[in-house]
Structure 1
Amino acid sequence: MKRILCLFALCASMTTQAQDLNDIFISGLEDAERFANDYTAPAAEALMFNLANGWYNSGQAKKLGGFEISIVGNTSFFKNMDNKTGFILDPSQYENLRFRDGDPLAPRRVSSALGDIEGVFVVVDDGSGLFNEEFELPSGLLSEGINFVPTGFLQASVGLIKGTEIKARFVPKISIEDEGELGLFGVGIQHDFTSHLPADKVLPIAISGVIGYTNVNFNYEFTESSGVTGSDQRVESDFGIWTFSAVASTRLPVINFYGGLNYISGKAENSILGQYTVQEGPFQTTYTDPFVLETKVNAVSANIGTKLKLGFFRINVDYNISEFSTLTAAVNFGFR
């Protein structure tokens, strides 16, 4: 049982790996769902915090007809986040699952999908002592030397009426090993409040508000590779992330500095669908569309960055401080 969740580099999303399913379903449906939720939640949170970034690089909205096309990359870090790379598994909250070694009922820290705790074995029994099965709990990304969550997308911005700018971001549908698809889209709006002031041309700063929504959609079919008897086995994931920001920036001709306060609200749903027939352990049965893993985030963050303008070419970098701190870098082409 390697791990339930893997992150894809271009635009991370979740998929249940086939060899994991046999193990988690051995413990029974309720235990499997409880463990899967605790295990995957930190990675879902990391993705949502990651994609909440990159919506702005200035407090100034573009003038009517001005545009900018950007290649944006976000990288969120989690290496030293003990509260996200593991969680406390308390057997008293499970119906059929116990630890194999040591005190079988004592709560113990185990790996999340982001962690690196290995060699933790559990035992599943039916309560009679006649039938039991043991397996190793999965580790996570740190055990494979991965300590960050990367995403990337294209983004375009166009100036409309005075002080207003609309934005769109997307990743075209990407085929994954001919068994799945991954896509991203988002829309946003920015309004420059200082553009309404009589002295807006001479003010040293620009202040604006930004609202952005990002959606990630992912589906993956793994019936043939799951190792679990069944049919139409797949995962369908849907991530929705809202970002509400207050932004300020300098108004210099070449190098500018910007910063913002942001409110992030996101929801992730990962639906495990299809039929799964468990043929090992004390609970041999068939599950149909077994469960939906749901994770929500609501948080405040702050960022600071700089932008360099050289004619039609611009680059910007900023660092966001939040539950999952994120570095954003972008290459931009356009004019105001």
Structure 2
Amino acid sequence: MKVLVAGGAGYIGSHCVRQLIAAGHKPVVVDNLSYGHKAAVPDTVPFHDVNLGDSVALDRIFKNEQIDVVMHFAAFAYVGESVTKPLKYYINNTSATYTLLDSMLKHGVKKFVFSSTCATYGIVKSLPIVEDMPQAPINPYGQTKLDVEIALKALAYGQGLSFATFRYFNAAGAAEDGSIGEDHNPETHLIPLAFGAAQGLRPALQIFGDDYPTPDGTCLRDYVHVDDLSRAHIAVFEKLEQPGAALFYNLGTGQPTSVREVITAVEKVSGLKVPVNYTTRREGDPPALYANSTKAQTELGWKPKYLSIEPIIETAWRWHERKPKGYQDR
């Protein structure tokens, strides 16, 4: 199928583009490069430097490209920034997404795959997290994702849109061959920050709290390989053949890893020492957060290839060793 990948030059989107090609599909990328990297998109893939809020440009793309499915990865995703600049997130994550949905429906495209987040759940009362738990986001980022989920349900009921929403936990790793990987500016994710500190390219790694009620005192998180995420998005295509399908899935391994365990694995894989500074807890960080992905595994036949942190970090190291300064390091 021909697949429009919104945000296809970003971290997860660019990996999904590669997986789509490997599966025999034809991706078309839309990305305004506010955070993405053109170098992450293969030269053979049609690329449109377009803002999702530009309805005229979107109408032109849908008219010319004959799209079958739309994948959406084009959200801003800095939780702290969403608190201080909420309108930036509502304009991009909700309003622009509604413009995209309006344009695709006008052109008869009724299959949509949405990149959501575990942040829609807010503070949960029990673990692991399952899909039918209450959703009560505690920041604008999570709220904007939930707002889109609600709109998608209305469109499925009212206009026959078929959609799948994937609620991610912690995306990590890089392409197995090291050709593309994680490069954010600013960088807030633990694994690239740890590699940068170990390589002497960043300051010492800040660890926010070592007194949590966890085995080693640091936070537990569910790290899922970016290619495993991508494969789930493709596996759901058959489910979208049913008009009005409204599907929700958690994506994680269900195997929580602590901050200290991540650092240990980074040091083992790279052979480098990670300089660390411990500081006080960060407001809003729960001690543990991990998924139950049974529904995705049962309904989609999806199973993560990477079930533990070390092989995930091995793929990330291939990227960081080859491109220590990211895509600018040519």
Higher relative contact order (CA 8 A, sep 6+): 1
Structure 1 or 2: more helix by fraction: 2
When you count strand as a share of all residues, which structure comes out higher? Answer: 1
TM-score range for the pair, normalised by the shorter chain length = under 0.3
> Greater CA radius of gyration, 1 or 2?
1
Calculate the TM-score normalised by the size of structure 2: 0.22
TM-score normalised to structure 1 length:
0.22
